[in-house]
Amino acid sequence: MRTKTLGLLIAATLHAQSGNFKIHMILHEIGEEHYEIATDPAGALTLNSTFEYSDRGTKRSTTAVLKMRGDYTPLALDLKTAASGAVPGAGRSVVITNSTASVQEDQNQHSIGVPAKYFTIYGPSPFAVQMAMMRYWIAHGKPAELPVLRANSGQHRPDPIRIEFAGRDSVTLSGKPVTLDCYTVANLMFGREVLWTTLDGQLVAAMTFAGGLPMEAVRSDYQPAFPQLYSSGVLQEMGDLTTLGKQAPAERLGDFAIVGATLVDGTGAPPVPDSAVVVRNGRIFAAGPRGKVAIPPGVTPIKAPGKTLLPGLWEMHTHYSGVEFGPALLAAGITTARDCGGEFEYLVAQRDAIEKRRALGPRLLLAGLVDAGGLKAFGHVTAETPDEGRAVVQKYHDAGFQQIKLYTFLTPDVIAAITAEAHRLGMTVTGHVPQALNAFQGVEAGMDQINHLNYVSNMMREPSAGRGGAIDVNSDASRKAIAFFKEHGTVVDPTAGWGEMAGHSKEVDAATFEPGVELAPFTLESKFRTMGGTTTAEQMKSRMAQTVAVIGALFKAGIPIVPGTDTGLVGYGLHRELELYVQAGMTPMEAIQSATIVSARAMKLDKESGTIEPGKRADMILLDGDPVANISDLRKVSKVVANGRLFDSRRLWESVGFRR
């Protein structure tokens, strides 16, 4: 009773107020949120929030009106979002009448019985709504679970929000120490947020790691303390990673052997039925037909008849935006992942936790993101001059990054300095082709790899077709482009599955081409089912046919294709990428190799990874099915061996909320 009374007193002192949050994406300030809370004569509250930011030049705004009782119990929420150049959506709203809530989420409408305790919120923003949620939670006794009123967009109801006290942090503000309460929030987005409040319940800052791309909000008056808060948040994430490791521990460590499976070693050799693969000290000690491989005394055999054993898969384009990515990637059979642009401090901490302290996750390779400065910049690492570009490369190199990732607004002189310095230091260069160049010029300027197919396919389009016109893979322009990229050894990371998902027609259920959404947590399932544009199903089919035709033409010419999913469905998105490669004309074996030895070669790690051969790193997956016959059997991962440790796929999925 004392806790509830205290909470109500805190809420009462915070009724009428206003404030601002500075909004950051990948630590780069991109906008602001302004909110006001007003109290009417009867004590009811109304929160008005305007949330505006620019994401790489695209302006977005969200307005929220949240009506509440005096104890922050929601009565109605109206949320509207708009983006420059986009068609306005139906919006999101909740209206509570007596014990029933009428919920609208874009085109989905439901009536929901209202539980005794609940809240109304859609994702992390506006952050002022999160502030109201925290005040409600405090005023109502800090319940272990807080049901959220959402409209179903698929098979599952939303999991309740779980808020946990994580301790207290001290920051310095105007030369004085300020003590803040730190919390983690689960099931608002995929993964956990980290947020801070003052001791009397005002929201100070929030870090949303796992929603696709990292985003942060900090009250304007606490902006000077943001670096301290961010570093504390990274430490909290590493603590959450330790907790996940306890939920899905390795089943086998040390020396063991997998016997009886059909071995597909990734070299292109025919599958070996009834094989034996011995793992010792995190390396492959022996591999081949069971009758020819001696199992050393004391090595535990793991029987796997009827299963297929493959090299671990490589995810070549992810944005590793939270510790929950690790279990999900491993569960899908991904034992190596390349991050293509994130937050320096977090990524280094995450990588080191995996490699040095054997935390849960695939081996993490890092491509250091760099863009020009200004509001349109992507990320917090920028270079405006050649000297700044060289300094950025040195910083990433010293921290053990393998690559530099170029971004949109870099100028030609800075690009030249970056690529020259990267090559001098033994690094490779990937990225978006900066807008000052086309793909030919980007490669000539030193780009070794290109992220996203559109930069390559644009060079295959005849001028007469116009921007966005159809591509004939047999045209003169296509032949010229293919010959150019082949001659220069350019590696292409198409992200075709992400293009399919992000632009899919709303006439088409995402689960029809990506069945993994039906197994995903509600936060991801609802996101991907409602994603998409105004295209028709037929237009989507035509666009994807062109995509696979271009991939097929590049592959046929011998241009290395490596699979990545960008911000698509974590884990399962890689399986979809490889299914599209088979549609493009690869055999299943060739698609598997693109995600194993071809990717390893692209990252200059093929001497130690990418195939199942003696002496190589023990990264493997055990499948129920035969992906050489049916590439979709990659979705049937049973066990994963990552750096010599054997994990159960089901347990990994379940640790981060996926269903099996």
Q: Give the closest residue to 620 by CA, choosing from 321, 383, 277, 294.
A: 277
pTM here is 0.95
Residues 79 and 179 placed together within one structural domain of the fold: yes
Model pLDDT for residues 410-458, shown as the tens digit of each residue? 999 999 999 999 999 999 999 999 999 999 999 999 999 999 999 999 9
Quote the CA–CA distance of 259 and 278 in Å, as a whole number. Answer: 9
Model pLDDT for residues 29-49, shown as the tens digit of each residue? 999 999 999 999 999 999 999
pLDDT of amino acid 9: 46
Q: Does residue 257 fall inside a structural domain?
A: no
Residues 233 and 315 placed together within one structural domain of the fold: no
Q: At what angle do helices 572-583 and 537-556 cross, to 10 degrees?
A: 70
Q: Which residues pair with 59 in a beta bridge?
A: 54
pLDDT of amino acid 330: 98
The answer to whether 326 and 359 have CB atoms below 8 angstroms apart is yes
Residues 216 and 327 placed together within one structural domain of the fold: no
Q: Does residue 285 fall inside a structural domain?
A: no
Residues 314 and 236 placed together within one structural domain of the fold: no
pLDDT of amino acid 16: 59
Which residue is it, tokens 């944005």? 319
Quote the CA–CA distance of 452 and 568 in Å, as a whole number. Answer: 13
DSSP string covering 353-381, please? HHHHH--SS-EEEEEEEEB-SSTT--SS-
Residues 216 and 333 placed together within one structural domain of the fold: no
Residues 324 and 219 placed together within one structural domain of the fold: no
What is the DSSP secondary structure assignment for residue 88, as one 8-state letter?
P
Residues 433 and 574 placed together within one structural domain of the fold: yes
Q: Which long-range contacts (CB under 8 A, 24 or more apart) does 438-447 make?
A: 439/481, 439/485, 440/481, 440/484, 442/406, 442/415, 443/484, 443/485, 443/488, 443/490, 444/488, 445/412, 445/415, 445/416, 445/419, 446/415, 446/416, 446/418, 446/419, 446/420, 446/422, 447/406, 447/419, 447/490
Q: Does residue 288 fall inside a structural domain?
A: no
Residues 240 and 318 placed together within one structural domain of the fold: no
Edge-first strand listing for the sheet containing 262-263 = 262-263, 307-311, 620-624, 637-642, 645-648
The answer to whether 541 and 555 have CB atoms below 8 angstroms apart is no
Tokens of 31: 């906008």
DSSP string covering 472-483, please? -TTSHHHHHHHH
Choose one of 228, 247, 266: the last residue of a domain. Answer: 247
Q: Does residue 267 fall inside a structural domain?
A: no
Q: Give the closest residue to 310 by CA, choosing from 620, 637, 654.
A: 620
Q: Does residue 215 fall inside a structural domain?
A: yes
Q: What CATH number has the domain bearing residue 491?
A: 3.20.20.140
Choose one of 247, 270, 295: the last residue of a domain. Answer: 247
The answer to whether 441 and 418 have CB atoms below 8 angstroms apart is no
Instruction: Report the Cα 635 to chain-centroid distance in Å.
Output: 19
Quote the CA–CA distance of 398 and 403 in Å, as a whole number. Answer: 12
Which residue stretches of the chain have pLDDT < 50? 1-13
Q: Does residue 262 fall inside a structural domain?
A: no
Backbone angles phi, psi at 326, to 5 degrees: -55, -55
Number of domains in the chain: 2
DSSP string covering 65-76, please? EEEE-TT--EEE
- Residue 348, domain extent: 309-655
CA dihedral 190→153→531→368, nearest 10 degrees, is 10
Choose one of 206, 224, 247: the last residue of a domain. Answer: 247
Q: Where do the H-state alpha helices sit in 371-452?
A: 386-398, 412-424, 439-444
257-276 burial, b at 16+ Cβ within 10 Å, e below that, comes to bbbbbbbbbbeeeebbeebb
Query: Which amino acid, 102?
Result: S
Q: How many CA atoms lie within 13 A of 82 on its CB side?
A: 6
The answer to whether 561 and 594 have CB atoms below 8 angstroms apart is yes
The answer to whether 445 and 415 have CB atoms below 8 angstroms apart is yes
Residues 343 and 461 placed together within one structural domain of the fold: yes
Q: Does residue 227 fall inside a structural domain?
A: yes
Q: Does residue 319 fall inside a structural domain?
A: yes
Q: What angle do CA 122, 95, 505 make, to 5 degrees?
A: 50
How does strand 313-318 pair with strand 334-339? parallel
Quote the CA–CA distance of 254 and 643 in Å, as a whole number. Answer: 10
Residues 405 and 500 placed together within one structural domain of the fold: yes
Quote the CA–CA distance of 483 and 476 in Å, as a whole number. Answer: 11
Q: Give the closest residue to 640 by CA, choosing from 376, 164, 279.
A: 279
Tokens of 356: 């040095």
Residues 366 and 509 placed together within one structural domain of the fold: yes
pLDDT of amino acid 589: 98
